[in-house]
């Protein structure tokens, strides 16, 4: 039992990130459909951390740090091929460790043993969670089993400040408005995780979204592109990739003129006069403004004045 006086006097170390802005210390889930490129993305993260490279081509690392990859669906040949695809002529980092097999029921013990030997470990990835998921114990529900397993992995991460542990897992297949609900299995997995990262990519598409939420990370969606296994942030940085993701969403249901008008209004966070839009886009802009208002993308707090529903926190949710 602690009290407010004790808490008020504490000075805590800043939150440590394996991948700045995306994957903080603690336990995370990396979710996506089969063959969506989760393993390629995870390997990119691991090689970036261990080699001091840029993750997804744009996110700089502070230095080289040790990693462990439980690549339980791969072999040595495939691991070498994928590393060379991502690294090109660069050597595979010495701080990159991997295993392709693990005894059933010994994943936590294996991680603890590795950390005892290498206490400087920054990132551990389990690919996939299904490969180490035990059966339910007698009288244990599926939710209790999921929470027990995820909780055990979280405890390993929490016992080692600065360590990020991420487990790859499949999605539910069924569509959901809340991407957290895409986590396959019960809510026990998502409930125990500190961070949830969802990779959304249509089959054979080169574009994808990386959706992130968690206890310590900023909730956001980032645009990615893939080329021959290589994931790259679609933007100069995370903020730029988030803007690209927003433009993609707009373009999916709107024409070019509507997208441009919506972007113009967004550039005025405090709102925009209709006459300013008309001066820029012509008399037909009134019709586009009306359609954007009907779709919930714009609000009209007063006559002749528009504001984007995603410009002010809370307004978009109320509009929908």
Q: Give residue-wise pLDDT tens across range 73-94.
A: 999 999 999 999 999 999 999 9
* Coil vs helix vs strand at 299: strand
What CA–CA distance (Å, rounded) separates 309 from 286? 18
Q: Between 121 and 34, where is the model more confident?
A: 121
Length of the chain: 320
**pLDDT given for residue 157 in this prediction:** 97
Q: Which of 98, 68, 64, 67 is nearest to 80 (CA)?
A: 98
pLDDT of residue 99: 97
pLDDT at 316: 43
Average pLDDT over residues 9-16: 92
pLDDT of residue 319 exceeding 50, the answer is no
Q: pLDDT at position 253, please?
A: 66
Among candidate residues 66, 156, 173, the one with its CA nearest the CA of residue 120 = 66
Closest by CA to 164, choosing from 110, 205, 122, 201, is: 122
Cα–Cα distance measured from residue 69 to residue 114, given in angstroms and rounded to the nearest whole number: 11
Integer angstrom CA distances of residue 5 from 2, 8, 10, 114, 295: 8, 5, 9, 38, 50
Q: What is the pLDDT of residues 228-284, one digit of tens each?
A: 889 999 999 999 999 899 888 777 666 778 878 888 888 888 888 988 999 888 888
**Where residue 295 falls among pLDDT bands split at 50, 70, 90?**
confident
pLDDT at 320 over 50: no
Q: If you average pLDDT over residues 223-228, what whole number do you get?
A: 92
Which residue ranges form the domains of the chain, and what is each CATH number? 10-236 (3.40.50.300), 254-319 (1.10.10.10)
pLDDT confidence band for 315 (50 / 70 / 90): very low
pLDDT for residue 317 is more than 60: no
**pLDDT score recorded for residue 109:** 95
Q: What is the pLDDT of residue 34?
A: 83
> Residue 119 pLDDT > 50, yes or no?
yes
| pLDDT for 181 | 56
pLDDT at 182: 52
Task: Round the average pLDDT of the chain to a whole number and report it.
Answer: 88
Report pTM.
0.79
pLDDT of residue 125: 98
pLDDT tens, 56-71? Answer: 999 999 999 999 999 9
Q: Which residue has the higher pLDDT, 81 or 143?
A: 81
Could you say which DSSP state residue 94 is in?
T
Confidence of residue 188 (pLDDT cuts 50, 70, 90): confident
Name the more confident of 178 and 216. Answer: 216
Q: Look up tokens 């005894």; give the residue.
A: 103
Helix, strand, coil percentages (3-state) for the chain, rounded to 5, are 40, 25, 40
Q: How confident is the model at residue 185 (pLDDT cuts 50, 70, 90)?
A: low
pLDDT at position 197, please?
94
């Amino acid at each position: 039992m602690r009290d407010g006086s004790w808490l008020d006097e504490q000075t805590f170390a800043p939150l440590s990130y394996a991948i700045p802005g995306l994957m903080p210390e603690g336990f995370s889930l990396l979710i996506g459909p089969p063959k969506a490129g989760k393993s390629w993305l995870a390997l990119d993260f691991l090689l970036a951390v261990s080699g001091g490279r840029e993750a997804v081509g744009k996110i700089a690392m502070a230095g080289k740090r040790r990693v462990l990859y439980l690549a339980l669906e791969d072999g040595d040949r495939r691991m070498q091929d994928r590393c060379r695809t991502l690294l090109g002529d660069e050597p595979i980092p010495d701080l990159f460790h991997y295993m392709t097999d693990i005894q059933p029921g010994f994943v936590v013990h294996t991680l603890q043993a590795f950390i005892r030997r290498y206490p400087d470990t920054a990132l551990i990835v389990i690919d996939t969670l299904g490969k180490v998921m035990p059966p339910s114990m007698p009288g244990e529900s599926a939710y209790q089993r999921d929470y027990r397993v995820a909780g055990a992995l979280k405890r390993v991460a929490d016992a080692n400040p600065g360590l990020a542990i991420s487990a790859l897992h499949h999605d539910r297949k069924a569509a959901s408005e809340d991407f957290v609900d895409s986590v396959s299995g019960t809510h026990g997995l998502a409930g125990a995780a500190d961070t949830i990262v969802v990779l959304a990519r249509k089959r054979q598409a080169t574009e994808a979204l990386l959706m992130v939420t968690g206890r310590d990370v900023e909730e956001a969606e980032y645009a990615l592109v893939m080329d021959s296994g290589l994931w790259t942030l679609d933007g100069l940085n995370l903020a730029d990739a988030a803007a690209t993701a927003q433009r993609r969403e707009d373009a999916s249901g709107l024409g070019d003129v509507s997208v441009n008008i919506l972007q113009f209004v967004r550039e005025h966070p405090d709102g925009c006069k209709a006459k300013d839009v008309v001066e820029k886009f012509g008399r037909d802009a009134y019709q586009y403004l009306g359609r954007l208002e009907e779709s919930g993308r714009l609000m009209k707090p007063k006559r002749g004045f528009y504001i984007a529903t995603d410009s002010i926190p809370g307004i978009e949710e109320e509009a929908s």
